[in-house]
Each structure stands twice: as structure tokens, then as C-alpha cells.
Structure 1
Amino acid sequence: MTQQTVSLPSSSQAQLRQGRIVRGVRSVIRHLILALLAGIWLVPIVWLVATSFSTDRGINVRRFFPAGYTLDNYANIMFHPDSVAQFPRWFVNTFVVACFTCVISTCFVLMVAYALSCCRFKGRRLLQNLSVIVNLFPGVLAMIAVYFVLKYLNLTNSYAGLIMVYAGSSGLGYLICKGFFDTTPVSLREAAKLDGASDARIFFQVVLPMSKPILVYTIISSFMIPWTDFVMAKMILNSGVSADWTVAIGLFNMLQRTLINNYFALFCAGGVLVSVPISILFIIMQKFYVAGITAGADKG
């Protein structure tokens, strides 16, 4: 059999070429806009990293890149703390609070999400609606009430009170995790139920092994909140003792008018060091993190 080629009219070919040109121009414009936005987003980060290696101790707004580079800022902030910059102690304080908060918050979120997704009980729909309504209000609205409650319980200026604040309402952030649990096969849970498994056993041996992406997402999110928070930490840890501060409070203190000219380069070095653990964690867990977000958004 002979193949026959169909030739398009010249007008149709011109329209096809014009369509390809238009699509190519639109693609170039989109990429240029994205590159511009990425550049704007990266400028402060590049400036922060470059200034962390600066030989100037204070802030210099006359040039973008420093005149000289040195590693003394990193060495001083890590190995030579003083009365103002006690970064190793702040790092340990923040890490301890973040770890305890991560464990407690992850347990709360997973338990609430599993109960509302896989269990059927009276008032389930009402609890879901109430939790959504509560999440509409910013957490800072309750700061004053939270502070006076902690003060009445003598939990201000303590890491226990700070952990309680971070983990107390974490269960309300169950929506993404519940959306992921909604995608798990119901037949597996029903089969385990017929074999005599309890709800706890189904949760730990059936649901959780299939939920690694959302588990990673929940762990990272729970760890990030105390690691980067300033407002709640500043409100609760208000004794003025710098050794008890978290990293966010300590670095912010370096920006005082009387200190910025001597500690701004150390502030930039501390900002870079704080971002390193989180960056490494995101790079390692990126696949599971993205999968947890996308899968949890399918249902809600």
C-alpha cells in the first residue's frame, strides 16, 4: 500500500506557524517573569550570605557585596560566644523545644486526622466544622489570654510552657493529613477489622505504613513552627536572660540600634547557620514532602 500525504492549504500552514510562534513568545514571557520573580526572591538571601562573610562587623548599605571576605564571623558565633551573642546555647534551646514540639504535635495531628477520617462517631461532622471555624482566626488573637494562663500556672519563662503553646492547638491542623488518610483503601481497614484488629492496631500497622509521605510532611511542619517562631517565644521567654532565649529572639536582639554596628555580620552568619539544618532536611525529604502535600489536597 502506498502512503498518501495530505498537504494542508498554505493558509492553514501559515496559521500553524503563527500559532507556534505565539506559543513560543508566551512561553518566553512566562519564563522571563518567573526568572524575574526568582531573582527578586533570591536577592535578600544572596545579600545575607555574602554579608555573613564580610570583614565589616556592621551593616554596610553602600555596596551589595562586601569589600573583603572572612570566616571569622562563623568562627566567632559558634566558638566564641559573648554576653550578646550566645548562639550555641540558643541553638540547643531551640532544638530541644522543636524536637519535643515535633513529637507531641505529630502525635496529635495523626490521631485527630485518623479519628475524623477513618472512624465514625456521633458529632464527627460538628467537630470538623468547629475546627475549621477556629482555624479561621489567627493564633495571635489569643496571645494575651495564653500569656495570663501560663503566668497563673507559673509556666512563663519555661520551655515547658512554650512547648505546651506550640503543641496545644496542633491537632487543629489535621486537614491535609485527613485528606491523605481518606485516600487509603477502606478494604484494608475492613479486612483488618474482620480479623479482630483494634482501631489502634489498624492505625499503627495498616494506615501508618501506607502514609509515609504525609508522616514526613507532618514531622517537618511540626518542627518548623518552633524553629522559626519569634512572636510566641518572645512573649513567653521574657525574663531578659539571654542564655534562655531561642535562636529567633537572640538573632533579633542583635539588631538593636546599639548593637547592630558591631553584630550585624554575626547576625547574618547566625541566619545562615539556622537555615542549614532545615535546608538539608528539605532536600532529603523533598519527595515525600511534596507527595504528602499533593495527596493530602485531593480530599478534605
Structure 2
Amino acid sequence: MDLLRPPNNVTEFAFLGLMQNPHLQKILFIVFLFIFLLTLLAILLIVITISLSPTLSAHIYFFLIYLALTDAFHTSAVTPKMIIPLLYQKRITSWSDSLNQIFLAHFLGGSDIIVLTVMAYDRYVGIYKPLHYTTIMSQKLCSLLVGASYSWGTVCSLTLTYFLSELSFRGNNIINNFVCEQAAFVAVSCSDPYISQEIILVSAMFNEISSLMIILTSYIFIFITVLKMPSTGGHHKPFSTCASHLTAITIFHGTILFLYCVPDSRSSWLMVKVASFFYTVVIPMLNPVIYSLRNKEVKETARKLVNTKLLCQ
């Protein structure tokens, strides 16, 4: 079946956006454009820093590159389509473009979940079994884990997009959101939304529960191992290497749990818009900032690279 077939009697959807005030929309366009460019610049800086520095050779930085690239694709797929209507007042999107955007959002979001989970396991091996770290976390295993994260993101995205494509729409093409968010389309469908809603809930709950169990288990062992270290100074470095990862996990999973796993959150479309904005715009911007500001090694390496470039000029 062609997933991009148009729904019954509807070939385009009109988005209400964040607000209707034209003056505020122009201000928002400038703000969001600045955030978008700043996000891409920060991600580019992280990727270049890790790629060029031999000191950042631990596998956690290998995973960080893929997390940064996923965030770059995520914000590039969503933000331009969100801010252009603020400038030109055009909020019409075709059904095929809507499905493509939803597919990319689920694919990149699902991949992010697995990469963050794998990073927790990497920290567990590095701290709990440091002598066996290079043996357990081989380059081959790391590549397989990254490939598995993108494969799982593809499976989840195809499943959710398929069930969305089966919905029927007759006449009602007004979407109360500013991005292509699956629940907004389910809300205006004339089909029975039960299956689609359950698929979204089950998929989100499975991903959240399985990933959080691995993350919590990993950090329990990390916490026990660090407490057994003899000196207070020995406690600081392991916790500092995990701080940025824990911050990113808390923000990412907190937003997902609110958006997909808390039933009452969908009673207010304003809250849905806020959560969608946070998930699609803020988180991809925060991740590179968190990893660059909370990680001492990344900061020091970036500073040295910048100073070297300035001295060479």
C-alpha cells in the first residue's frame, strides 16, 4: 500500500500555528531562526572538536557525534517548515509532506532514545568494568549499536506512519498545532481513533520503559561503584562525566513522557503545542549546549582548537 496516498476528500492541511498576531509572528521568526542557526553551529563545533581531537577517543564521544548529527537532522527537518509560515503567512501542507515530516520526527526521536540508552550502558562499562572496557565496547559493537538505534527508529516510524495513513479525513483539515504531530491528525480524523491512539501509547510506553530500565540499572551500578571508591576526589570525575548525559536524559524523557504517556496532557492543546515545541526545537538546541558546557573535556578541547586556529592566522 502506498503510504503517501491522500486521505478521503482532503489533500492539504491548514495549521493554526503558535499564534495569530502578525507582529509577534515576525518576532518569533527572528528568534526561531537565531535558535536554529545557533543549534547547527553548536552541533558543528561539537562534531569538529571530537573528530579532530585524539584526546576525545572514548566511545562515549563516538556516540555523542551520532546524537549530535541526529539532533541536526531533527531540527533541520522541523524548524524551517515551522518558521517559514511565520514570515509568509502560509500554513498549508500537503498530506504527503505531513506524513514525511511525521516519519522523520518518529525516526529521529526513536533513534535518539536508543543512542541515549547506549550511552548510559557505555558509562556503566567504563566505570563498573574499566579494565574490560575496550574489550567489551569494541568499535564493532559500537557501530552495531548505532546501526541498531537507526534500525529501531525506522521500524517504529514506519509502524506509526502506516496506521496514520489508514485514517480517513472528510472536510476537516484544520490542524491545531504548528508542526506535523501525529495526535493532531488523529484528533481531526473521521475514522475510529482507538487503534492509532493505542499504537502511539504502546510504542511510546515500550520505548520509555525499556530504555529507562536500562538507564536506571546502569546508573545504579555506576552509583554503587563510585561510592566504593576510596577518596572524595575519585568520586568527582565519574559523576562529572555522567552529569551531561543525565541532564540530557532527564529533559528528553521528561518531555516524551509528558507528551505521549500522560493522558491528561492531551486535554489541553496549548500544553501539546508547548511540549511539541520543546521536543522539536528546544531539545535539539539544548543537547549540544549541555554536552559542551557540562563536559569539561569537550570544553577544554574546543578552547584549545579555537586558540590554535587563532594563533595560526
Instruction: State whether TM-score is above 0.5.
Output: no
Normalising by structure 2, what TM-score?
A: 0.27
Pair member with larger Rg: 1
Higher relative contact order (CA closer than 8 Å, sequence separation 6+): 1
